[in-house]
Amino acid sequence: MKLLTLSFYALLQSTAFAALNPLVIKGSKFFDSKTGNQFYFKGVDYQPRTGASSKIKDPLADTVGCKRDAALFSELGINSVRVYETDYTLNHDTCMKAFEDVGVYVLIDIPTPFSSINREFPFWDTDLLQQYKLKVNAFSGYNNLAGFIIGNEVTNSKSNTPASAFVKASIRDIKTYIKSQKLSIPVGYVDNDDEAIRLSLISYFNCGDDPNARADFYGVNTYRWCGKDATYSSSGYDDMISPFAKYSIPVIITEFGCNTVQPRTFKEIESILGPDMENISSGGLVYEFSQEDNNYGLVKVSYGSSDVEKLSDFDTLKNVLSSVSPKGVKMSSYNPSNKVSECPAISDNWRVSTALPPAPSADACSCMMNSLSCSLDSSFSSTDDAQNKALGESASVICGLISCKDVSYDTVKGDYGAFSFCNSTQRSSWILNTNFLNQKGASGACNLENIKTQVISNPKAKSMSECAKILTKISSGDSGTSRDSGKDSAKKSSSKKSFTLNIVSFFAITLITCGIAF
């Protein structure tokens, strides 16, 4: 393909868009807040990685790349992108404005590979809550922010369904935070279209009495439709979308575009944005814009460069998108009647009750740390693999001898330890202190091999009881609810063997300090 430069693509920007109106949700549909027209996502997934050298590969900080790609978006005829990985410490004004100028809304994933809920060893703690809040702060001021995605395929098999409890708690706490800032930004979740668990996930993130703990929209990453001969029914798209026919929140196809059969034809768009699905779905986003190692790209680009090479899929997608125009409804004439979902019952494939982890409290964790007589030394680094391994081995032994329930959890029973929301260093210090007190402060009881610890002769808080008021406030719901429904699905299956946190697995979290949920 011929290599073209930004100067050529700048000529394509013949249509200037006024400031985009914020999107709003009513029932199971998105609308333009000012015109009242129904909004359908007609977009691409956007995460150029080639040439990026930073730890967090943030395409919305690449001003050259954004100006290059904004013109391409205009030519493609898209109105939205999804961005998976961004750095809240960087400035995104230029890129967000460039995209707004060509009529493009942006869906932002809050987690990154270095700051997310780990599906195998999940926790929702004070550190993660703070990271998520900072991401919200970084993007909440843009007109063309379509919404936040709180998790992408975090639970992706029946073996890790407990992680969903922590994702749902994060939805509750981030929505609460957004409202406290007097903002209205939808927060959604995305699944991986796994047959064994998809129905449970779809119900779970839209069930319960607390609206803050329910997702505002739901995304599906699906690659069912493969090849030019596939149809709406033969691909299984009809089965994929059917659970959403009476869903009370919008559903977006957040990834699609199977590449196992080449060339891609993108015929599924005619269903997603046509008569088959336009009354149920809110559109979708093609995976993905840039050519990376997985061979899904529409173009070849490099971070910081204005050069671009269009691939064959670019024109194919452009032509298909130009052929679809979903009808939609006006917000004023739309009267939704769908109800929230029933929470899924406990089963072999679903190990989560309706009870949620409590909202993380930095005050409670600080109070707990101030009450300890034995803790990790301040020199301990949670990013040091050698220290984490040594700590994990020692703590596993300790928790085999004493109860560590205050820093662990059971998602089936809905039991969450009083300090389970503290960060991994704080939870580890709690365990060391409990062991120290169990040995009545004996000489050497605070020592760990290869880990520096400290004995505190005069703790700032005289006892853990001084933290009781803070914990009572949390459990009463002042800092977030811990239960999301009047019906506890755990009771429906009391004979099932409950998921109990394995202590060795619990301390593996110290070995994986950053949960990867991609």
Asked if the bond preceding 263 is cis, omega within 30° of 0, the reply is yes
Count of other CB atoms within 10 angstroms of residue 294: 9
Active site residue 153: yes
The residue with tokens 């697995």 is 505
Active site residue 288: no
DSSP string, 397-446: HHHTTS--GGG-EETTTTEE-TTTTS-HHHHHHHHHHHHHHHTTT-TTTT
How far apart CA 148 and CA 140 sit, in angstroms, is: 9
Asked if the bond preceding 288 is cis, omega within 30° of 0, the reply is yes
Backbone angles phi, psi at 253, to 5 degrees: -85, 95
Query: By 3-state DSSP, what share of the chain in percent is helix, strand and coil, each rounded to 5?
Result: 30, 15, 50
Q: Are 477 and 79 in contact (CB under 8 A)?
A: no
Name the active-site residue from 255, 268, 278, 288. 255
For the chain, what is the radius of gyration of the CA atoms?
24
Which residue type sits at 479? S
DSSP string, 118-165: -SSS----HHHHHHHHHHHHHHTT-TTEEEEEEEESSS-SGGGTTHHH
Backbone region of residue 188 per phi and psi (left: phi > 0; alpha: psi in -120 to 50; beta: other values): beta
User: Which residues is 43 bridged to in the sheet?
Assistant: 80, 285
How far apart CA 371 and CA 465 sit, in angstroms, is: 9
Torsion of CA 432, 436, 438, 440, to 10 degrees: -170
The residue with tokens 């009808």 is 327
Name the active-site residue from 153, 268, 278, 288. 153
Active-site residues, by number, are: 153, 255
